[in-house]
Structures are given as C-alpha cells and as structure tokens.
Amino acid sequence: IDAFKYGDAPVFVISLKAGGFGLNLTEADYCFVLDPWWNPAVEAQAVDRTHRIGQERTVMVYRLVSSDTIETKVMELKARKEKLFTSVMDGDGAFDSALTAADIRGLLGA
C-alpha cells in the first residue's frame, strides 16, 4: 500500500471485499472493478476509497464485464436491487420484488 501511495508502485490490485474496509486511496486516478458484487453498497464502498477527503483529481471508474458470464447476471441482479432500494426509500412500497430462488438459480446458470 505504501509503495502505491508514495508513487513507487504504479498499480495497486486488491479484491473488492478487501478494498472496501479501512483504506484511503486518494492517490488513485483510475479504479477498475473486475469482480462486481451482488450488493451495490459493497461495491460503492470499495470505489469510494478513491473519493475520500483529500482527493484532488478526477477518478475514472471502469467496470469490466464480459457478456454471457456470471458477472453479467450479477450486474443485472445489482441493478434490480438498486431499483428496489430506491423505490423503498422513495416510499412507493415495492416490497413485492424480493430476491427469489429463481434469481439465485439464474445467477448460477441452473
């Protein structure tokens, strides 16, 4: 981490879950998400490590997802979860859109 922060290492690679806790990476100019997470908050927390107080540059965030992979299905599920969260927070009561067994089977390609 220190080598990246002080410019001795041009790239810092970390898994999404590990990158979501206790790090400030304001030295980053780019963030590449290679392992999308089904929970939008987990991914947002990890990406936010580059947007801390002290960040003086624009950070470009890229999500690399190949078609016809489980990552595509995770992105679709995440979009549905974000929509559900927004509708619940906005008060239109969309509680009938819960995650189903069919959703999980779809993620696994079953």
pLDDT digits (tens, 9 = 90+) for 5-62: 898 999 998 888 777 677 888 888 899 988 888 888 888 888 888 887 777 888 899 9
pLDDT (0 to 100) of residue 95: 53
Q: What range does the domain containing 98 cover?
A: 66-110
Are residues 51 and 33 both part of a single domain?
yes
Q: How many residues does the chain have?
A: 110
* Selected residue with higher pLDDT from 103 and 34: 34
Q: Check: CB of residue 42 under 8 Å from CB of residue 16.
A: yes
Rounded Cα distance between 50 and 23, Å, is 9
Are residues 11 and 60 both part of a single domain?
yes
Are residues 60 and 82 both part of a single domain?
no
| Distant-in-sequence, close-in-space partners of 18: CB < 8 Å, separation ≥ 6 | none
Rounded Cα distance between 80 and 42, Å, is 15
Could you give the angle at which helices 70-89 and 101-108 cross, rounded to 10 degrees? Answer: 150
Are residues 56 and 96 both part of a single domain?
no
